[in-house]
Chain A
């Protein structure tokens, strides 16, 4: 048994949260480049949903007035934010189950860097997806009517919702035991988005269901963005409808406040 002097510890600059997070974000760019098919499908799927609802149901379902696409597009934007949750969740879950997360956690990096890097990458992907979707809307006749400032505020509300759902995605992705849970959530996003004012007026639903539908955080963001884009909205004289802007800020704040600490704790998982 011989003992040698370890001459190994190299002088490293102190860990930097933003620098480390950016490295994790760049890893996601590599993923996109390595899987261009998945990258494109993720961006184009909401476009498919737009055409499906616009062309298939648009003739049968009436919006609150005006062109159906003018009404539908902000709803689809909101739905795309919810779909983004699947991307986050599936990515986080794959890393955790393959041991990649453990390797990150055994590195001398800032404990929040990995989560933040994922956050940044997912938000970039969301912005790209939203741009594609808005371009699609413009081609189909959707317009923002109240000027760029209001339109940008609407985009801000959409991203706030996506940011909040990101933490839900990270949390569920970390605690989910396998691909089955991920698949279950992928199915659940459909009823969750249907049970809102994205496609139909919750007032037409049975009483309690309509209440759930109008209190759905997606409904708040949909109504608020419709107003900001100057697109038609449901004219319900309810408190939720009249305070949509407030709720479109409040819901994401609340969801983030609950799920961000849960997600960070699940990531550190020291009590596991």
Chain B
């Protein structure tokens, strides 16, 4: 089948009557077959709304959206034949066992041997042992795995995964990641949404950053990181009077900005920057309160790429907790 897996043009959706729902103000999206594409953005960016429109659960006001060539508006049933959805809350039946959940979905997909398929998926997602226990007894990570297995009953051409690891502990998160990587090796196209930069970085071939129902940036993770400028070196002076001298030192590795009494410099080579600045500080006999290098936060990436904070109601944080 030729053509992209997902092709979205100027998708719009408004919720004039609801303050809770997130609208779309013209989303464009192109996802090639056999790739993992991440929709990256904060809460309220419109990620879930986009997913719901693409999976035919919601109708857009205007714009076109095609999934494997079928229009989601006019060929909803054809779209549903080719997709799988892993929603934000694990959409599994807690009263049933893991095996019963998969068996039921196998039957609803008219598989010739649903029981065999259920067993196969339980093995593949590491759920063979708890297979016959009620899902209510599963951990968050196990539920996610079952949820993923459930959406793969018929191995869809395109799998939509809405915030796969939100609320999971790091170990469960890694398990989910490797499951998603396994899917891609089998040829499935994956569109996932995430609030985590590192998740998009780890999984996605391409990333679309969304904010306020619009596309803020699009590219491979490397391209985006290059545009953001990588790490930040931060110097917290012990005495505000030191600020001018510290500024001169910081200027040796980049262009510093003043963030409320704290100096921040975007740097490309974190180690070299740290060594240069430490040496210069020692030479000058300056002993700042704190000297640290850290990755940009999602807020900063957005600030840099869009010129505004992710949440219009809050100013960008001047002193991230991570530095203390």
How far is the CB of A113 from the nearest CB of chain B, in Å? Answer: 8
User: Is A2 a contact partner of B108 (Cβ separation < 8 A)?
Assistant: no
| 8 Å CB interface, B187-203 against A | 187-189
How far is the CB of A224 from the nearest CB of chain B, in Å? Answer: 37
| 8 Å CB interface, B77-110 against A | 77, 80-85, 87-97, 100, 104-105, 107-110
How far is the CB of A35 from the nearest CB of chain B, in Å? Answer: 6
User: Is B91 a contact partner of A102 (Cβ separation < 8 A)?
Assistant: yes
| 8 Å CB interface, B105-153 against A | 105, 107-111, 134, 150-151
B83, B87, B151, B189 interface centre (most CB from chain A within 10 Å) = B87
- Contact of B35 with A by CB under 8 A: yes
| 8 Å CB interface, B32-89 against A | 32-35, 55-59, 77, 80-85, 87-89
User: Is A1 a contact partner of B91 (Cβ separation < 8 A)?
Assistant: no
| 8 Å CB interface, A82-103 against B | 98-100, 102-103
- Contact of B1 with A by CB under 8 A: yes
**B110: which of A13, A34, A269 is its contact (CB, 8 Å)?**
A13
Question: How far, in angstroms, from A113 to B107 measured CA to CA in the complex?
Answer: 13
Residue of B nearest to A117 (CB): B108
A1-B32, A1-B205, A3-B35 as given contacts; A8 in contact with B156, CB under 8 Å: yes
Determine the chain A residues whose CB is within 8 A of the CB of B56 once the complex forms.
Answer: 105-106
How far is the CB of B188 from the nearest CB of chain A, in Å? Answer: 7
Question: How far, in angstroms, from A31 to B96 measured CA to CA in the complex?
Answer: 7
Determine the chain B residues whose CB is within 8 A of the CB of A56 once the complex forms.
Answer: none
Question: How far, in angstroms, from A31 to B94 measured CA to CA in the complex?
Answer: 10
A6-B189, A35-B95 as given contacts; A107 in contact with B105, CB under 8 Å: yes
User: Is A102 a contact partner of B108 (Cβ separation < 8 A)?
Assistant: no
Residue of A nearest to B157 (CB): A6
Determine the chain B residues whose CB is within 8 A of the CB of A6 once the complex forms.
Answer: 1, 33-34, 157, 187-189
- Contact of B155 with A by CB under 8 A: yes
Question: How far, in angstroms, from A34 to B134 measured CA to CA in the complex?
Answer: 8
Determine the chain B residues whose CB is within 8 A of the CB of A242 once the complex forms.
Answer: none
Residue of A nearest to B206 (CB): A1
**A34: which of B87, B96, B156 is its contact (CB, 8 Å)?**
B96
Determine the chain B residues whose CB is within 8 A of the CB of A100 once the complex forms.
Answer: 91-93
The number of residues on chain A lying at the interface, defined by a beta carbon within 8 Å of a beta carbon of chain B, is 40
- Contact of B168 with A by CB under 8 A: no
- Contact of B286 with A by CB under 8 A: no
- Contact of A265 with B by CB under 8 A: no
- Contact of B216 with A by CB under 8 A: no
- Contact of A207 with B by CB under 8 A: no
Determine the chain A residues whose CB is within 8 A of the CB of B55 once the complex forms.
Answer: 106
Determine the chain B residues whose CB is within 8 A of the CB of A270 once the complex forms.
Answer: 57-59
Interface of chain A, main secondary structure: loop
| 8 Å CB interface, A1-60 against B | 1-10, 12-13, 15-16, 19-20, 23-24, 26-27, 30-31, 34-35
User: Is B34 a contact partner of A8 (Cβ separation < 8 A)?
Assistant: no
Determine the chain B residues whose CB is within 8 A of the CB of A1 once the complex forms.
Answer: 32, 35, 205-206
Question: How far, in angstroms, from A136 to B85 measured CA to CA in the complex?
Answer: 47
Residue of A nearest to B68 (CB): A6
Determine the chain A residues whose CB is within 8 A of the CB of B96 once the complex forms.
Answer: 27, 30-31, 34
User: Is B85 a contact partner of A106 (Cβ separation < 8 A)?
Assistant: yes
- Contact of B217 with A by CB under 8 A: no
How far is the CB of B266 from the nearest CB of chain A, in Å? Answer: 28
| 8 Å CB interface, B155-180 against A | 155-157
B34, B93, B157 interface centre (most CB from chain A within 10 Å) = B93
Determine the chain A residues whose CB is within 8 A of the CB of B58 once the complex forms.
Answer: 270, 272
Determine the chain B residues whose CB is within 8 A of the CB of A104 once the complex forms.
Answer: 108
- Contact of B154 with A by CB under 8 A: yes
Determine the chain B residues whose CB is within 8 A of the CB of A113 once the complex forms.
Answer: 108
User: Is B154 a contact partner of A4 (Cβ separation < 8 A)?
Assistant: no
Residue of B nearest to A105 (CB): B57
User: Is A109 a contact partner of B57 (Cβ separation < 8 A)?
Assistant: no
A2-B34, A270-B58, A271-B59 as given contacts; A8 in contact with B187, CB under 8 Å: yes
How far is the CB of B12 from the nearest CB of chain A, in Å? Answer: 15
- Contact of A108 with B by CB under 8 A: yes
User: Is B108 a contact partner of A31 (Cβ separation < 8 A)?
Assistant: no
User: Is B187 a contact partner of A9 (Cβ separation < 8 A)?
Assistant: no
User: Is A99 a contact partner of B90 (Cβ separation < 8 A)?
Assistant: yes
Question: How far, in angstroms, from A12 to B59 measured CA to CA in the complex?
Answer: 27
How far is the CB of A177 from the nearest CB of chain B, in Å? Answer: 11
Determine the chain A residues whose CB is within 8 A of the CB of B100 once the complex forms.
Answer: 27, 30
Q: Which residues of B contact A (CB under 8 A)?
A: 1, 32-35, 55-59, 77, 80-85, 87-97, 100, 104-105, 107-111, 134, 150-151, 154-157, 187-189, 205-206
What are 20 inter-chain pairs, A to B, with CB distance below 8 A? A1-B32, A8-B188, A12-B81, A15-B110, A16-B110, A26-B104, A27-B93, A30-B95, A31-B96, A98-B89, A99-B87, A99-B90, A100-B92, A102-B91, A103-B85, A103-B91, A103-B150, A107-B108, A107-B109, A109-B108
Given contacts A10-B155, A105-B56, 14 further A-B pairs with CB under 8 A are: A6-B188, A9-B82, A12-B154, A16-B110, A27-B93, A34-B96, A98-B94, A100-B92, A103-B87, A103-B91, A108-B77, A108-B81, A108-B109, A270-B57
